[in-house]
Structure 1
Amino acid sequence: MRESLGWRGAAGLVALSMLAGCAGRPAAGPVFPAPEPSVTVSASAPVDPRPPGDGPPHYTDNSNWKQRHELTAAERKEGDRLAGRIRPALAELRAAGDFAPESTRRALLGLGLAADRVGVTAMRKPSWSDEVPVGAVFEVRFGTAGCVTGDVRPERLLVDVSGAAAEFGCLEPYTH
């Protein structure tokens, strides 16, 4: 077949197969250097820190309402001290097998916390289940923007210290 194409036809096939990435090393013929690739970098283009995917284009802007107050060292210390008082009281409830929201509220108020700074609700039913989990979710607000939040349930006791969100406070609202 090469004989019928001539040297120009054979060179054309080699060039096409090299462009298509299908050829190994050519059997014979001249080798031409490839041109240097051109790269343009724009310093003014903003870079999205999220990996590429199918997320919404303004995810960061749309999620700003969830941003929490950054605790100062003094606020963190106050929150940790409060969490240290809350944890044993709720661990005692958990050990007794008492996961009722009313019991959780009584235990928190029994620590001398102000009633208007304490919130307790029942666990919410997850969207993938028909059963409401056993347990209680709580929030205790401290200072101007601090939160001790968590839950008491058969499998765990969670006590966390964080800053409040300007939009909703300590506990993120239930949306589903």
Structure 2
Amino acid sequence: MPISTMRRRTRAAMAVLLLPGAAFALTACGEQRVTDPVAAGSVPSPRPTAAGASPYVEPGAGDGAPHYRENNAYRLPGEMSPASAEDAREEADRIEPVLRRLWQAGTWDPESVRTALLGIGYEEERTGPKGERLGGTLTVRAMELRFENDHYVKPEGAQVGVRVHDDACVTAFVQKTNFEVKTNGPFPETGCFEPPAGH
């Protein structure tokens, strides 16, 4: 067989090998046969998605990346029971006017925020030497460092975490530009506080 014919056959065979989703089976005679794994039921077919979107995105994936939930498990809050979610919402409704008043007054340092929340009946959360909770529900701390313009900055303001139940928190912050109060389940590594990105 001429070399040019062999090259053409080799190229054709390689082109078929590169077809997406194609699988091959060799028969006893050495003959190649293309099989469709989806039609055979051996490979699950991807679910339909919007144009350009990956069909292999897991449900609840924040940015659409495969394995988002697995890679970001430390940043995903736990589930709240309906009763705990309702209690957390009531606590958020108590905290929101206090933070609004502080924000409008231009007072967002952690000490002032802590004092104001202790003033409406919260007690600071206490922990033992092994991290066990000993009482209280309130934690107030400074804002996390942020990376801006090639360096880290520590913004003015305070973060608030209130442990309502083992499965429910109120998470809040107040700073110069804005304030926010929301409810969520605790985070695996950081309790009521959302962990910073870039674990």
TM-score, normalisation: structure 2:
0.59
Match of 2:182 among 160, 168, 174: 160
- The structure with higher relative contact order (CA 8 Å, sep 6+) is 1
Write the distance in 1 (CA, Å) between the matches of 2:119 and 2:94. Answer: 11
Q: Deviations over 1:52-81 (max 9, x none)?
A: x9x6x7543232233322112211110111
Q: Does 2:57 correspond to 1:49? A: yes
Whole-Å separation in 1 of the counterparts to 2:123 and 2:174: 20
Instruction: State yes or no: 1:109 paired with 2:118.
Output: yes
Q: CA deviation at 1:127?
A: 1.0
Q: Decide which structure has the larger Cα Rg and report it.
A: 1
The 3-state SS of whatever aligns with 2:147 is: coil
8 A Cα contact 2:37 2:43, kept in partner:
no
* Structure 2: runs of 5 or more not aligned: 1-33, 47-55, 126-136
Aligned position for 2:171: 149
Structure 1 equivalent of residue 91 of structure 2: 82
Q: Distance in 2 between matches of 1:151 and 1:170?
A: 12
Q: Which has the higher helix share?
A: 1
Percent identical: 31
TM-superposed deviation, 1:174: 4.0
Question: 1:46 offset after TM fit, Å?
Answer: 8.7
Q: Which amino acid aligns with 2:86?
A: K
Report if the CA contact (8 A) 2:75-2:195 is conserved. no
Between structures 1 and 2, the one with greater strand share: 2
SS of corresponding position for 1:71:
coil
2:156 pairs with one of 100, 113, 134: 134
Moved over 4 A (4+): 42-47
State the alpha-carbon separation in 2 of the partners of residues 68 and 169 from structure 1. Answer: 9
Structure 1: state its 5+ residue gaps.
1-36
Change (3 A) 1:128 1:46: farther
The offset of 1:93, in angstroms, is: 0.9
SS in 2 for 1:89: helix
Query: Could you tell me which residue of structure 2 aligns to residue 99 of structure 1?
Result: 108
Aligned residue for 2:103, secondary structure, equals: helix
Secondary structure of the corresponding residue to residue 127 of structure 1: strand
What is the alpha-carbon root mean square deviation over aligned residues? 2.9
| Structure 2 residue 194 is matched with structure 1 residue 172 | yes
- Alpha-carbon spacing, 1:63–1:46, altered in 2? closer, same or farther (3 Å): farther
TM-score normalised by length of structure 1: 0.65
User: Relative to 1, partners in 2 of residues 1:166 and 1:106: Cα closer, same or farther, differing over 3 Å?
Assistant: same
Distance between the aligned counterparts of 2:164 and 2:143, measured in 1? 23
